[in-house]
Chain A
Amino acid sequence: MKPSFVPTAAEFLRLSPEILLVLAGTLVLVLEGITGGRRGRELGRLCLAALWAALIASVAASRQPGLAFSGLVSADEFAGFFRVVVIAGGLLVALFSGPYLRRESAERGEYYALLLYSVAGQCLMASAAELIILFIALETSSIASYVLAGYLRADRRANEAAVKYFLLGSFASAFLLYGVALVYGAAGSTWLVEIRAALARPPVAATPLVGAAAAFLFVGFAFKVSAAPFQIWAPDVYQGAPAPVAAFLSAGPKAAAFAGLLRVFMTAFEPVSANWEDIVWISALATMIIGNFAALLQSNIKRLLAYSSIAHAGYVMVAVAAHSSIGTAAAMFYLAAYVFMNVGAFAVVSYFARQGERYVQVDDLAGLAWKQPAVAALLSLFLLSLIGVPLTGGFFGKFYVFKAALEAGLVWLTVLGLLNSAVAAYYYLRILVVMYMREPAEAASDLTPPTAPVQAALWASAVATLLLGIFPSAVLEYASQAARLAP
């Protein structure tokens, strides 16, 4: 775009969250080497500090919206919103990862470094204005998360999860990259706005390359957000990965991939929207149905939450299918609510699982409410929010999503989606039933109260879930504004 090779201070500010995160990740790695791997706990604190700094930097960056680094990065409100969401998700996960890793005697700096790199990739995904950068960001986030999934080297399930995730993920990335190449072939550019300009000319838009490119890009993103029919990896990976990593995978990467999807399809492929709208709503419907109905049959809580996270990707897809700035805002709001409630639920799972993840069956939670009332109440809040009961973030998420869909005329998709959420109530209720209506079992009996970091993560998620459920205006208005302004 602009042929200036010396970035200005404002441009550095616009990329500051990513810069901070990558520097902090590298610092953690270096310190890890110097201290010989004995200072995991302190490095965890460093990681938290870096995430806080990046959070502040994101807010500061969104105050100075604009392009940076030759127009490769667009630090607008849209990017700012998603940066805050993924960093908040990373923060919460980092908080309760510490106790989990110490329990497994695996708290080392590299975990935190990988986490930071992955979050950096996600932030960049949200702010990329060009497809190559987007691809690099996606890979940065993904490769770090492949390693995180297999972080517990001695654990066979984690290994399986990591290999599966890596192989399938690489395929998806290849599809995405192929799509980028085809777009370049058709439109002669990898800049989103330039692609839009090119596709606005009917002869370009009519070439078969464009359709193929959009399809390949969609496959890549659909894999990352675990939308049907590319959701198959999610249950196995979430179940096998360490619980905090599963929490992390279900939150940040998904939100960031949606950011990329929204930006690419609402910007670059906007002129040919008539060709992809149908595919999106069919995928949305299939994702909701597969996620919800498969979740009904699960007995492992991590697997259950994995299917539930597929279903939630389906709800967000409904908002994408609405294809309007209201829909984009709804998707953003939904993802924000989803990150908090889902990470919160996973935080309880990771606290409850104990050493070696012995207790990850739904039935293990029996009687938790009478042994740890506060934890059970918080998990109930997250589950009610996942169901979509009012006064929680999940309700307004669904409300805005389906409102956008109805305004876009997707009446039957809305009705089916809402009925889906009634089906979903069943499997979330099962967890409540077990916690409150069964007598305490062995697993709940010898439970020590959660440590301070876990408490902090739980309460922070709960407060965010409630705030989004009682006072959603501010966040929604910000999202609406961001959705309107995004190029």
Chain B
Amino acid sequence: MNLLDVVLILPLAGFLLLLFLPREREQTIRRVALGFALLTFVLSLGLAVGYRGAGEFAFVTDKPWIRSPEIRYHVALDGLSLWLVLLTTLLTPVGILVSWNYISRRVKEFYALFLLLEFGLIGVFVALDLILFYVFWEVSLVPMYFLIGVWGHERRIYAAVKFFLFTMAGSVLMLAAIIYLYTYAGTFDYVELLRLQAAGNLAFRRGEELLLFLGFFIAFAIKVPLFPLHTWLPDAHVEAPTAGSVMLASVMLKMGCYGLLRFLLPLFPQASRECAPWIVGLAIAGIIYGALVALVQPNMKKLVAYTSVSHLGFVVLGIFTFSQLGADGAVYQMINHGISTGALFVLVGFLYERKHSLEIADYGGVATPAPNLAAVFMITALASAGLPTLNNFVGEYLVLQGTAQVNFRWAVLAATGVILAAGYMLWLYQRVFFGPAPESVREHVYDLKRREWAAMLPLVALMVWLGTASETFLPAIRQTNAWILERARTSGEVRVQLSMPREEAKP
């Protein structure tokens, strides 16, 4: 059992422990949950320190779980999963901190499910056996369903069921594809599959590869979510409690992006390349559509939700350029989006806790009674809009640079998303924080409290760190992407193609 196993199992242990605590002792429950989350985070820092893989998997544990068919408990880290695991372990304590007073009913169940969610999410990012991956994928679904459905806002039940059914519809297709792949390869093990493929023992007929590709792709695209499969997202994000929105936006959406890079590109390189123009088209459509819809939202949470559709479009765009810069930018953008959108949801949640409204029109002049809140919101909004020296800029820049190398027109279209981002973010800021403060705002809105500072400070610090010292994070990402792209470009066929042909490039 290595450090990664401990990081994975701790939240599960916390979940089980919470189940046995008496429900009346709410404060104890909160502290225990926070304790487990913080401990997990601290230990996961050890993963970053100990990770020095050169495109190899680190912290590998590979044990048999089920004998026939052979399913293994095979978990490991590489440059792609490392930061996503850290993102998860960071945002879980943040989520617990922001729920401290907000969640006052059914406290025990909330925190238990929250830790179960963390377990599922970490598992998704480290599983290297396809069935194990699927197990974690579904395990993370159940607690989120309850978090939305029990502790959400008015239309929570609709949102929760929609979220579950969308994901389920995608994931059953993925399960079919996984099993079908098994009938071909005789293994569920990712590393083994790659080995078979490298040796040329995993050649599909053309139509078959496309079907397998689609089985995985639809599941991931729903989760990302890629336009036009995004319709569950605004509902789920808006109706979820703050901590739920944070985990949804910051981590769960990354499950789809992660899947694209980890499984889709290396395992089905040819189909990935062939479908790339279509997918890029959808990604760019999502970037522009999400931004435009965000621009006209009267509801803050919904606005932030639609910015996710836009930002995640960049991630998918970066991945399907098959360029090193684009893929690095995509991964970087996953982390950025996790931090800045997570922070936005936290801040919107703070406003909601104070005034019990999510409508922009109910606010105004918040900067007067709450200057610190306003300042933090400003930094976050600017980060989200892609201001240089803050995190999103780096990711978006890399994606656009990578895209421009492949196809300049794509880059131009995608860049409009950045411009629109400045528009919706600054306009939101102006309407909420400036102008005359209505009576109700002056009365109810107070400034950040200590606990709220504790939740926000690490996020703000990371925005600056990610924005100014990207070389802390990029080398690991670069190494991993390099070998993924190497496979995506060359394996599976003889025709080697280093960039997308121009003729196909119309999105």
Which residues of A are in contact with B by a Cβ distance under 8 Å? 369-370, 373, 384, 387, 389-391, 395, 399, 402-403, 406-407, 411, 414-415, 418-419, 421-422, 425-426, 429-430, 432-433, 436-437, 471-473, 476-477, 480
| Cross-interface CB contact of B139 among A369, A390, A403, A407, cutoff 8 Å | A390
**Complex: chain B residue closest to A407, CB-CB:** B183
Chain B's interface: helix, strand, loop or mixed, by majority?
A: helix
Return chain A residues, CB-CB under 8 Å to B172.
418-419, 421-422
A414 to B179, CA, bound (A): 10
29 inter-chain pairs at a CB distance below 8 angstroms, sorted by A residue, are A389-B139, A389-B142, A390-B138, A390-B139, A399-B175, A399-B179, A402-B175, A403-B69, A403-B179, A406-B176, A406-B179, A407-B183, A414-B176, A414-B179, A415-B173, A415-B176, A418-B172, A422-B165, A422-B168, A422-B169, A425-B168, A426-B165, A432-B146, A433-B157, A437-B149, A472-B66, A473-B67, A473-B68, A480-B68
Q: B135-150 CB contact bits vs A (8 Å, 1 = yes)?
A: 1001101100110011
Return chain B residues, CB-CB under 8 Å to A387.
168
Return chain B residues, CB-CB under 8 Å to A433.
149, 157, 160-161
B134 at the A interface (CB under 8 A)? yes
A387 to B138, CA, bound (A): 11
A390 to B142, CA, bound (A): 10
How many whole Å from B132's CB to the nearest CB in chain A? 9
Q: B149-191 CB contact bits vs A (8 Å, 1 = yes)?
A: 1100000110011001100110011011001101100000000
Return chain B residues, CB-CB under 8 Å to A430.
161
A430 to B179, CA, bound (A): 29
A437 & B165 in contact (Cβ 8 Å cutoff): no
A406 & B180 in contact (Cβ 8 Å cutoff): yes
Given contacts A414-B176, A418-B175, A437-B150, 7 further A-B contacts (CB under 8 A): A391-B135, A399-B175, A402-B176, A418-B176, A419-B173, A432-B146, A437-B160
Return chain A residues, CB-CB under 8 Å to B106.
370
**Complex: chain B residue closest to A402, CB-CB:** B179
How many whole Å from A437's CB to the nearest CB in chain B? 5
A473 & B180 in contact (Cβ 8 Å cutoff): no
**Complex: chain A residue closest to B208, CB-CB:** A411
**Complex: chain A residue closest to B182, CB-CB:** A403
Q: B387-402 CB contact bits vs A (8 Å, 1 = yes)?
A: 0000000000000000
**Complex: chain B residue closest to A414, CB-CB:** B176
Q: B100-132 CB contact bits vs A (8 Å, 1 = yes)?
A: 000000100100000000000000000000010
B157 & A437 in contact (Cβ 8 Å cutoff): yes
How many whole Å from B153's CB to the nearest CB in chain A? 12
A406 to B138, CA, bound (A): 21
State how many residues of chain B have any CB contact under 8 Å with chain A: 34
A403 to B188, CA, bound (A): 12
A143 to B67, CA, bound (A): 41
How many whole Å from A45's CB to the nearest CB in chain B? 32
How many whole Å from B81's CB to the nearest CB in chain A? 20
Return chain B residues, CB-CB under 8 Å to A422.
165, 168-169, 172
A476 to B156, CA, bound (A): 40
Return chain B residues, CB-CB under 8 Å to A391.
135, 139
A437 & B175 in contact (Cβ 8 Å cutoff): no
A406 to B177, CA, bound (A): 10
**Complex: chain A residue closest to B70, CB-CB:** A473
A384 & B175 in contact (Cβ 8 Å cutoff): no
Q: B252-277 CB contact bits vs A (8 Å, 1 = yes)?
A: 00000000000000000000000000
Return chain A residues, CB-CB under 8 Å to B157.
433, 437
How many whole Å from B475's CB to the nearest CB in chain A? 35
Tell me the residues in window 335-362 of chain B with beta carbons closer than 8 Å to chain A beta carbons.
none
The 10 closest A-B CB pairs, nearest first, are: A418-B172, A390-B135, A473-B67, A422-B169, A422-B168, A437-B149, A390-B138, A403-B179, A422-B172, A425-B168
Return chain A residues, CB-CB under 8 Å to B156.
437
A429 & B175 in contact (Cβ 8 Å cutoff): no
How many whole Å from B117's CB to the nearest CB in chain A? 14
Return chain B residues, CB-CB under 8 Å to A418.
172-173, 175-176
How many whole Å from B161's CB to the nearest CB in chain A? 6
How many whole Å from B17's CB to the nearest CB in chain A? 16
How many whole Å from A395's CB to the nearest CB in chain B? 8
How many whole Å from B187's CB to the nearest CB in chain A? 13
Q: B197-209 CB contact bits vs A (8 Å, 1 = yes)?
A: 0000000000000
A415 to B109, CA, bound (A): 35
User: Interface centre among A384, A387, A471, A473, by most B CB within 10 Å?
Assistant: A473
| Cross-interface CB contact of A406 among B146, B161, B183, cutoff 8 Å | B183
B180 & A436 in contact (Cβ 8 Å cutoff): no
Return chain A residues, CB-CB under 8 Å to B109.
369, 373
Return chain A residues, CB-CB under 8 Å to B131.
399
B150 & A436 in contact (Cβ 8 Å cutoff): yes
A436 & B149 in contact (Cβ 8 Å cutoff): yes
B164 & A425 in contact (Cβ 8 Å cutoff): yes
How many whole Å from A72's CB to the nearest CB in chain B? 33
A369 to B138, CA, bound (A): 22
B149 & A419 in contact (Cβ 8 Å cutoff): no
| Cross-interface CB contact of A436 among B23, B146, B173, B179, cutoff 8 Å | B146
A231 to B338, CA, bound (A): 50
Return chain B residues, CB-CB under 8 Å to A390.
134-135, 138-139
How many whole Å from B16's CB to the nearest CB in chain A? 13
B68 & A477 in contact (Cβ 8 Å cutoff): yes
**Complex: chain A residue closest to B148, CB-CB:** A437
User: Interface centre among A415, A419, A422, by most B CB within 10 Å?
Assistant: A422
Return chain A residues, CB-CB under 8 Å to B66.
471-473, 476
How many whole Å from A406's CB to the nearest CB in chain B? 5
How many whole Å from A443's CB to the nearest CB in chain B? 19
A389 to B172, CA, bound (A): 10
| Cross-interface CB contact of B138 among A370, A389, A415, A471, cutoff 8 Å | A389
A395 to B139, CA, bound (A): 12
A461 to B380, CA, bound (A): 50
**Complex: chain A residue closest to B170, CB-CB:** A422
How many whole Å from A312's CB to the nearest CB in chain B? 16
A422 to B172, CA, bound (A): 7
